[in-house]
Structure 1
Amino acid sequence: MTSQTMSPAEQAFSAARTFAKFRDEPVSDETLKALHELAKWGPTASNCQPARYVFVRSAEAKARLRACLAPGNVDKVMGAPVTVIVAHDTRFYEHLSTQFPHMPTAALPFEGNPALAQTVALRNSSLQGAYLIVAARLLGLDCGPMSGFDADALDRSFFPDGRYRSNFLVNLGHGDVTALRPRGPRLPFDAVATIE
């Protein structure tokens, strides 16, 4: 089934797969900008939008990222056309005056409370990273999200001023379907949900 014959639900979820190996096809700047343009509309608490993205594509940036990876993830990242560092801005609340203007005091709970800011930033950047994955799939890209890296080393390399902190990585490109394993099962409704 091609993306042209799939419903959006199939393309984003039921027919989509997590890829560990990608074909040697570049992902253009225009595609990355279109990806952000689509993903940015996903909701966050108080429209806080703490996620920050680094699209790692150059050989130099890939070498810096490689030094931070767990051994089992090196080939996955090095073989992907682009790897996105999904991070969060620890001072996201500085933008609330323009992004949540109808509540002038929205930033006050976070000023001087880094623990609260960290909790909100991590939760909402995780949401935004998930939106990025769904948007990428809807744009015809395949994804391979992952942990398995030294976050402190990555942050020192890519965010030396300490303002941003890494959350997770997403490899992007056109997946190599010949390298897919059988799809893993999913827990049924009754194992994960209740209706009260």
Structure 2
Amino acid sequence: MTALHPEVRTTDTLALDAAAQDLLFREARTANTFASEPVPDERLQAIYDLVKFGPTAMNAQPMRLVAVRTPEARERLVAHMSEGNRPKTASAPLTLIVAADTGFHEHLPTVFPHAAGAREAMEGNPGRAGMAKFNATIQLGYLIVGIRAAGLAAGPMTGFDAEGVRAEFLEGTGQEVLAVVNVGMPGPDAWFPRNPRLAYDQIVTEI
């Protein structure tokens, strides 16, 4: 069996230069502490305006974000986080609640105009909620990479009371919470040791 996490740098076969590869993947880490430097609205919008071009099924774009900035809103969110995630959420300059909009089909005539009847077809579709969650989760991956591309650290978490967060922040919206992501410049001792990754031949099967 091939060893985990071989130190292979495929810099010569990719279009991105080595520095960009490191920024987005090899050197990027999940942050656990954050500096107090704020993340302005303009920077968050720039991140979204980049990652919105990532593909989703039917161009549905079901991801929705709640940007938690104020002390009052942060206190409400921290109350629903698991014990280990409370300090990092309390100290991050920006926290994003990432949700899937099960009513995404309302936008289909605009974002998917070449499929006549798409909205009506999805209206009573029992798989619509699953489609929303799957595609919003894909967008969450784009979002994390986009945060890194902006020179910031992301701290994605699923350790929280999902029903509590939904009731507190998303009641009546038709949105289902997927993750909470802390965003900012990394603080002191922000990184845990990197865990191993599976090797190529443990993942890829050729036929």
Coarse TM-score class (shorter-chain normalised): over 0.9
Question: Does 1:32 pair with 2:44?
Answer: yes
| Structure 2 residues not aligned, in runs of 5+ | 1-16
1: distance between equivalents of 2:184 and 2:173? Answer: 29
2: distance between equivalents of 1:46 and 1:7? Answer: 34
1: distance between equivalents of 2:116 and 2:188? Answer: 50
| Structure 1 residues not aligned, in runs of 5+ | none
- Residue 79 of structure 1 is matched in structure 2 by 91
TM-score by length of structure 2 reads 0.88
2: distance between equivalents of 1:148 and 1:181? Answer: 17
1:93 CA drift (Å): 0.7
Indicate if the aligned counterparts of 1:155 and 1:162 stay in contact, CA closer than 8 A: no
1:71 CA drift (Å): 0.9
Equivalent of residue 44 in structure 1, options 46, 56, 71:
56
Letter in 2 for 1:150: D
Aligned pair count reads 191
TM-score by length of structure 1 reads 0.92
Percent identity of equivalent pairs: 43
> Partner of 1:74: helix, strand, or coil?
helix
Question: Does 1:18 pair with 2:30?
Answer: yes
2: distance between equivalents of 1:178 and 1:188? Answer: 28
- Residue 175 of structure 2 is matched in structure 1 by 164
Q: Which has the larger radius of gyration?
A: 2
> Partner of 1:42: helix, strand, or coil?
coil
CA deviation profile, 1:44-82 (whole Å, cap 9, x unmatched): 011000000011111111011112111111011111111
1:37 CA drift (Å): 0.8
CA deviation profile, 1:117-150 (whole Å, cap 9, x unmatched): 1111011000111111101101111111110111
Aligned-pair RMSD on alpha carbons?
Answer: 1.5
2: distance between equivalents of 1:21 and 1:27? Answer: 15
